[in-house]
Amino acid sequence: MTVNGVARWTCRTNVSKVEKDGRLEIAPLSHLPIIKDLVTDMREFFDKGARAKGRFKGKQNRYDEFARVDPKSKERIAANAGIECIGCGVCYASCDVVGWRPEYLGPAALNRAWTLANDVRDIQQTERLKAVAGDAGCNSCHSLGSCSERCPKQIEPTAGIAGLKMLVAMAALRGEI
């Protein structure tokens, strides 16, 4: 929800730390259609994750040898930085770009794309980079940082989006997208 004008993870928000003069103003998350009272329709938020190719797709099946990922590899370390996203929508509701450009995929979807772009087992890297390269993708991020500042899990989507910008640019230079 939004508490005193700031999107927050309200189940973990200490009222005494956010009240102003003994008052709280509670509102639904920004940038999402309101169903009723404080309840928002999160479909758009989750649909944008799908448009950013936010699902893992591997080449192995359950009968293959278990895939091994070196936990110390630079890709795994980069993926770890954003992997704990809980899909709460706080970053999305805090993002000014989502408010200005409703088609923008948003920080959560792009953060998920970043974690998968660094998963060596995933086989849809080119498709994912194409999905996040367009006008609604990573290059629309203005790097204001409200998503990182307000994330209740201390994830920094702005850093992951910057990484996506680099990957997209490199893929474009190679003629892959």
Q: Among candidates 10, 61, 62, 19, which has minimal Cα distance to 38?
A: 10
Q: What percent of the chain has pLDDT over 90?
A: 78
Taking only the tens place, the pLDDT of each residue in 22-58 is 899 999 999 999 999 999 999 999 999 999 999 999 9
Can you read off the two tokens belonging to residue 130?
Answer: 């194409």
Q: Torsion angle of alpha carbons 144, 149, 152, 153, nearest 10°?
A: 90
Taking only the tens place, the pLDDT of each residue in 68-89 is 888 999 888 888 889 999 999 9
Task: Answer whether residue 163 shows pLDDT above 90.
Answer: yes
List domains and CATH numbers for the chain. Answer: 41-173 (1.10.1060.10)
DSSP, res 174: T
CA gap 155, 158 in Å, rounded: 9
CA gap 119, 99 in Å, rounded: 30
pLDDT of res. 62:
86
Owner of token pair 């009222």 = 15
CA gap 161, 30 in Å, rounded: 21
Mean pLDDT within 146-171? 96
